[in-house]
Structure formats: structure tokens, C-alpha cells
């Protein structure tokens, strides 16, 4: 097996093959629309052929910028929120040591990757800045406008700290701006200060931007091979062109299944993993689907759990709670490392029946046993199998989910590429902070308090 696989045998009794095949023509039409731009959101379809359009020159420029940061920095702070950091963090966490950040300086090949601008916690920012006090650090600032509140606050603080620590001239070498090609506050600042810059394409929305410099630069700084990542995405891009038969178009099949289950009252999709490195892959997935589909009072609610950890907190509800859920399980075919359970003469823990077995075998039996239990308990299950955790297969998985999301949104009858609802909280926040230009909103909201 040289590609990710989709297993649907655990849908039996919930959804028939005939039910799925009935929607094949509609799914094909939705896939075609993504390629010819014939439906809503067609100004944000740059991601569809993005993997195959990335040139060697672009990859070299990203790799060169990553080398500069690795040379000058012990830590690099990725400043961004939502799609501006989740994709990068998903890949970095999936493909790095779980204890990467604890490695001693002399043992490190690449900088520690840290994150800011994804919250407005004063304590978090204070603790981050205190940690950076005695570190050689750099900043990747990711913002289309440069005025989004959370990253703008973080960047202002970190920029001041860096300039005070090393001076403006040295700071310029350690700051990279990923922003609009020609306009916005961050573009103006970057041009004025002379920062190295990369462009966020106008036709690629934030949650689809992991394979642009938004994701690729931080990933490269972490020492991950972005060429293999992109190559994996290209394989799924080529395997899902409009001429692909529905029977072989895995993202289209996944999109149909989730929409058919939704019609049957399954309102919540739980993305399940059995590997802690995939936690932020699930966080990225939640934004991708939640922001794409949750509008016009419709949309599957995307949730996620880390098993077996969350079996001891959420397992009871999943097994016997309201039957409005289905599970999509990400399973890893082969572990990258090998650990065997040893013999113990006293066997006080009763584990000698497992001696000589690999921990991964135990994990997989826990996965199989859980899946059987949940299916028996009325929870439809489908499984996405990744052969191994490496750049190629993570690249495949990213494009798989992106393509499926576009098709699924069109099947749902909404525009999966806008997010009008996220502006509501911003308007209220600006009004409460008495931002210039929000005077009327300030009066209105204060009258409600």
C-alpha cells in the first residue's frame, strides 16, 4: 500500500453501498465545480491545483529562508491564528519528536518552534517572552492584513523584545513576514523595515493555506522535508481530477458518506486518532470543516478525540450517549519505532501475557476492540489508514481532507469558502474596546450591559 486508504465496512447497517452510489453523479458534479470554478466561492479555489503548481524555485526560496532562521535562531515563534498556524503545527507535531522542545541545545539540529498570536492571554505572552529572554529567537509573522487583533498584539510585543535584545539591524534578519502581495499593514511594515517576505495567495483561504508559504516555511524551519510533503499532496491531487471514477475518488466517497449520515440524523463527526502526534492534525481538521460548513443553520459539528486517552473521559458518552454521532478513525499502519513489553518475574501487574508483544500491537487491538464496541453501540465508523507517519502520507492526508471538504460543502448546498460568522465577535470586541470607527456599535452594545 503506497497511499492512504478509506475503509467503509463499519458503515454496514447504517448506510448501504447503494445509498452511497446514488450520490456519485452529484459528487462528481461538485468535484468538477471545484476545477472549473462554476459555483460559489470560485475566487478561493487556488488550493485545488496548488500542489502541482509549486515550482522548484518557490521551494528553494522557502528552504533558503528556513536555513537563515535555523542558522540565527534557537527558537522561532510562528505568529498567527486559525489557518495561519494550525496547518503548520499539525504537520510539525505529527512529524517531530513528541519531546522535541525538551531536547538540550547541543542536541538540537533545528530551532524550537513556538506559537503566539493564537490567543490573547496575558499570562501566556508573559511566559513566552520570559522564556525567550536568554534565547536567540526569530519570528515568522503570518497575517494577510497585519491588523488581526491576536497576532498583531503578539507581533508588536515580540518585535519590540527582539529589537531591544539584538538591535533593529539584526532583528530584520530574524523576522519573516508572510502577508498580502501589495497591501495591508504588515506589507507596509515589511517593505519599510526590509523583512524577508512571502505572499499569501489571494485565491487561497487561510484554512486551505498549509501548502503555501504560510505552512511550508515553519515546517521547513522545523527540519521537515517540504518537498516530500508537497509530493504526497500532488499524488492525491492527480488521483482526484474530474475524470477520476467515483469508485476511486476517495475524497468524494468520504464527502458523500458524511453528508448521507448527516441526512440520517448524525449531526456530529468525531475525528479519532490513536497517536498523540495527530492531536493538532485534528485541530486543523476541525477548523477546515467547521469554518467551511457551519453556516446558514446547517453543517456537521466537527469534534475530535485522542484515543486511548479520551476513552477514559469521553468513551462512556460515545458508547451510550445520544446517537447523533459518527466516527472517522485515522489509523497508522506501521509505527516508526519499536518497543516490546518485557517479562517480569513477579508479574504483579498481570501483564506477562503481553510479554514480547510490541506496544503498537496492543494499541491496535485497543483500536479494533473500541471500533467494534462503538459500531455495536450504534456509532457508524469509517477508517482512514495512513501507512506510516511521514511527509508523503501527511501530504496525502492534507489534500484528501481539503478536497473532500470542498466537495462536501457543495453537496451541503453552501459556499464552503467564506466565513461570514466570524466577524460577529470581532465587531462586539472592537465596540467594547472603543476602537475608532465603532462609536455607534459601542453605544449599542453598552446599552445592553
Is the pTM higher than 0.75?
yes
Domains defined along the chain, listed by start:
5-41+230-415 (3.40.50.10490), 49-227 (3.40.50.10490)
- Give yes or no: 391 in active site: no
Residue 363 CB-half CA count within 13 A: 20
Residue with cell 465603532: 438
Looking at 150, 260, 283, 291, which residue is catalytic?
Answer: 291
- Tens of pLDDT along 177-230? 999 999 999 999 999 999 999 999 999 999 999 999 999 999 999 999 999 999
- Give yes or no: 291 in active site: yes
Looking at 426, 427, 443, 446, which residue is catalytic?
Answer: 426
Per-residue pLDDT of the chain (449 residues; tens, 9 = 90+): 699 999 999 999 999 999 999 999 999 999 999 999 999 999 999 999 999 999 999 999 999 999 999 999 999 999 999 999 999 999 999 999 999 888 887 778 899 999 999 999 999 999 999 999 999 999 999 999 988 999 999 999 999 999 999 999 999 999 999 999 999 999 999 999 999 999 999 999 999 999 999 999 999 999 999 999 999 999 999 999 999 999 999 999 999 999 999 999 999 999 999 999 999 999 999 999 999 999 999 999 999 999 999 999 999 999 999 999 999 999 999 999 999 999 999 999 999 999 999 999 999 999 999 999 999 999 999 999 999 999 999 999 999 999 999 999 999 999 999 988 666 777 787 867 678 877 777 777 777 77
Largest alpha-carbon pair distance within the chain? 76
Amino acid at each position: 500500500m503506497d497511499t492512504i486508504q478509506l475503509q467503509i465496512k463499519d458503515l454496514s447497517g447504517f448506510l448501504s453501498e447503494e445509498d452511497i452510489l446514488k450520490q456519485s453523479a452529484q459528487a462528481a458534479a461538485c468535484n468538477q465545480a471545484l476545477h472549473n470554478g462554476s459555483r460559489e466561492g470560485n475566487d478561493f479555489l487556488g488550493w485545488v491545483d496548488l500542489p502541482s503548481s509549486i515550482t522548484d524555485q518557490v521551494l528553494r526560496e522557502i528552504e533558503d529562508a528556513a536555513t537563515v532562521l535555523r542558522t540565527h535562531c534557537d527558537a522561532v515563534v510562528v505568529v498567527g491564528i486559525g489557518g495561519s498556524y494550525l496547518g503548520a503545527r499539525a504537520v510539525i507535531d505529527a512529524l517531530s519528536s513528541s519531546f522535541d522542545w525538551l531536547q538540550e541545545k547541543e542536541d538540537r539540529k533545528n530551532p524550537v518552534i513556538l506559537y503566539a498570536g493564537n490567543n490573547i492571554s496575558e499570562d501566556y505572552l508573559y511566559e513566552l517572552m520570559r522564556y525567550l529572554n536568554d534565547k536567540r529567537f526569530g519570528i515568522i509573522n503570518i497575517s494577510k492584513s497585519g491588523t488581526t487583533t491576536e497576532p498583531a498584539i503578539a507581533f508588536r510585543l515580540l518585535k519590540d523584545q527582539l529589537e531591544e535584545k539584538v538591535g533593529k539591524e539584526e532583528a530584520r534578519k530574524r523576522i519573516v513576514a508572510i502577508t498580502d502581495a501589495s497591501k495591508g499593514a504588515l506589507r507596509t511594515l515589511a517593505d519599510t523595515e526590509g523583512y524577508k517576505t512571502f505572499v499569501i495567495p489571494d485565491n487561497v483561504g487561510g484554512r486551505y493555506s498549509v501548502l503555501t508559504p504560510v505552512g511550508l516555511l515553519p515546517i521547513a524551519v522545523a527540519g521537515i522535508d517540504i518537498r516530500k510533503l508537497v509530493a504526497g499532496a500532488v499524488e492525491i491531487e492527480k488521483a482526484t481530477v474530474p475524470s477520476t471514477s467515483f469508485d476511486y475518488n476517495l475524497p468524494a466517497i468520504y464527502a458523500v458518506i458524511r453528508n448521507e449520515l448527516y441526512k440520517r440524523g448524525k449531526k456530529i463527526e468525531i475525528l479519532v486518532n490513536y497517536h498523540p502526534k495527530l492531536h493538532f492534525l485534528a485541530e486543523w481538521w476541525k477548523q477546515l470543516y467547521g469554518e467551511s460548513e457551519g453556516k446558514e443553520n446547517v453543517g456537521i459539528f466537527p469534534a475530535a478525540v485522542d484515543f486511548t486517552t479520551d476513552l477514559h473521559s469521553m468513551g462512556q458518552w460515545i458508547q451510550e450517549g445520544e446517537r447523533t454521532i459518527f466516527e472517522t478513525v485515522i489509523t497508522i499502519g506501521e509505527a516508526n519505532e519499536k518497543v516490546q513489553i518485557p517479562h517480569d518475574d513477579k508479574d504483579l501487574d498481570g501483564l506477562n501475557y503481553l510479554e514480547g508483544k510490541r506496544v503498537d500491537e496492543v494499541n491496535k487491538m485497543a483500536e479494533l476492540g473500541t471500533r467494534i464496541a462503538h459500531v455495536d453501540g450504534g456509532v457508524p465508523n469509517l477508517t482512514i489508514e495512513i501507512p506510516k507517519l511521514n511527509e508523503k502520507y501527511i501530504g496525502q492526508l492534507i489534500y484528501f481532507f481539503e478536497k473532500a471538504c470542498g466537495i462536501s460543502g457543495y453537496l451541503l448546498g453552501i459556499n464552503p469558502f467564506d466565513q461570514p460568522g466570524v466577524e460577529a465577535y470581532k465587531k462586539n470586541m472592537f465596540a467594547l474596546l472603543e476602537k475608532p470607527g465603532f462609536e455607534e456599535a459601542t453605544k449599542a452594545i453598552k446599552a445592553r450591559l
